[in-house]
């Protein structure tokens, strides 16, 4: 098992670069389909955090941990300090329930559909979303 | 940001001009394309050639452009990479947007339907 910690400035301009770096880090560990699903999930999760996780401390970077295990890749994304936790179940919307002509509201549905497992909750006093991807097809 | 090519019959090909159409640039893409519509363009091909990644914000912007055109024109897409095409399928956008392999095919098909 190897675990790597990344830090991203709490700024929308930083998301694409971080997503690209994380994807490059996992080349060879996930199949093309797994990398696609990983990229979608991480892009949506980081964008949601920057846009919606209110924090008074915008200077503290967002922590992201990527752990490569024998059969899985797990990415853990920690909410900014002071952000109010959200209720994953209450906010979860299946993509099939999203109006085709809606201009927003697909992010969480994409995460739930593309990740093999999604966990959100308090870990060591910090709110964390953990996304798991199987390596079976790599 | 967007690059525009005007064709005969009033068809306009719009290239977003980015490699990744995401939350950071989706609003600019939408605003600039809607400005084009407001200036009279109503037959649009949005050409995704060269775009490797699209997120839900980019998709939402595209839907917004389609809604602005409404019934006064037509919007189709072209040049979808396999990743972008997969996102379209997951979000059921393949039911909303007619897709062509490249911009020329889209322009030709659109011309024939005029």
This model of the complex carries an ipTM of 0.93
Task: Tell me the mean pLDDT in the region A51-68.
Answer: 87
Record the tokens describing residue A44, joined without a space.
Answer: 């949506």
Q: Give B 65-104 residues with CB within 8 A of chain A.
A: 66-67, 83, 86-87, 90-93, 95-96
Q: Structure tokens of A137?
A: 């097809």
- pTM of the model as a whole: 0.94
Complete DSSP assignment for A83-124? PPP--HHHH---GGGS-TT-SS--HHHHHHHHSSEEEEEEET
Beta pairing partners, A132: A74, A117
Task: Quickly list DSSP for chain B.
Answer: --EEEE-GGGEEEEE---SEESTTTHHHHHHHHHHHHHTT--EEEEE-TT--EE-HHHHHHHHHHHHHHGGGSEEEEE---HHHHHHHHHTTGGGTS-EESSHHHHHHHHHHT-
Looking at every residue in chain B, the average pLDDT score rounds to 96
Put simply, whether A36 touches B (Cβ < 8 Å) is yes
Backbone torsions φ then ψ of B90, nearest 5 degrees: -60, -40
Q: pLDDT for A103-113, tens place per residue?
A: 999 999 999 99
Task: Please tell me the predicted confidence (pLDDT) of residue A138.
Answer: 47
**Across the interface, which of B23, B95, B96 has its CB nearest the CB of A47?**
B23
Phi-psi category of B110—alpha, beta or left, where left has phi over 0 and alpha has psi -120 to 50? alpha
Residue in B29, B31, B55 to test binding to A, most A beta-carbons within 10 Å = B55
Pick A12's closest partner by Cβ from B24, B66, B67.
Answer: B24
What do you get for the CA distance between the two ends of chain A, in Å?
Answer: 16
pLDDT at A58 over 80: no
- How far B57 CA lies from chain A's nearest CA (Å)? 7
Give the dihedral of Cα atoms A21, A25, A27, A30; nearest 10 deg.
Answer: -110
Local structure of residue A56 (DSSP, 8 states): S
Share of chain A above pLDDT 90, in %: 75
Look at residue B77 and tell me whether its pLDDT is greater than 70: yes
B99 pLDDT above the threshold of 50: yes
Mean per-residue pLDDT over chain A, rounded: 92
């Amino acid at each position: 098992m190897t675990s790597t910690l990344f830090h991203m400035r709490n700024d929308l301009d930083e998301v694409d670069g971080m997503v690209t770096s994380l994807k490059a880090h996992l080349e060879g560990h996930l199949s093309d389909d797994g990398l696609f699903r990983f990229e979608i999930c991480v892009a949506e999760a980081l964008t949601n955090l920057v846009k919606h996780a209110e924090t008074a401390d915008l200077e503290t970077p967002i922590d992201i941990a990527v752990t490569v295990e024998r059969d899985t890749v797990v990415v853990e994304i920690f909410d900014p300090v002071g952000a109010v936790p959200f209720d994953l179940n209450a906010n979860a919307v299946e993509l099939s329930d999203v109006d085709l002509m809606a201009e927003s509201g697909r992010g969480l549905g994409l995460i739930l559909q593309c990740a093999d497992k999604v966990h959100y909750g308090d870990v060591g006093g910090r709110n964390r979303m953990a996304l798991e991807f199987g390596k079976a097809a790599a | 940001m967007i690059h525009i090519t005007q064709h005969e019959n009033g068809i306009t090909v719009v290239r977003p001009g980015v490699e990744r159409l995401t939350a950071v640039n989706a609003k600019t893409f939408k605003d600039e394309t809607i400005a084009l519509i407001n200036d009279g363009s109503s037959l649009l091909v949005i050409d995704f050639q060269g775009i490797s990644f699209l997120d839900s914000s980019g998709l939402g912007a595209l839907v917004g452009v389609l809604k602005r055109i409404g019934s006064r024109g037509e919007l189709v897409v072209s040049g979808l990479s396999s990743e972008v095409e997969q996102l379209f399928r997951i979000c059921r956008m393949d039911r909303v947007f007619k897709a062509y392999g490249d911009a020329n095919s889209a322009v030709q098909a659109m011309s024939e339907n005029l």
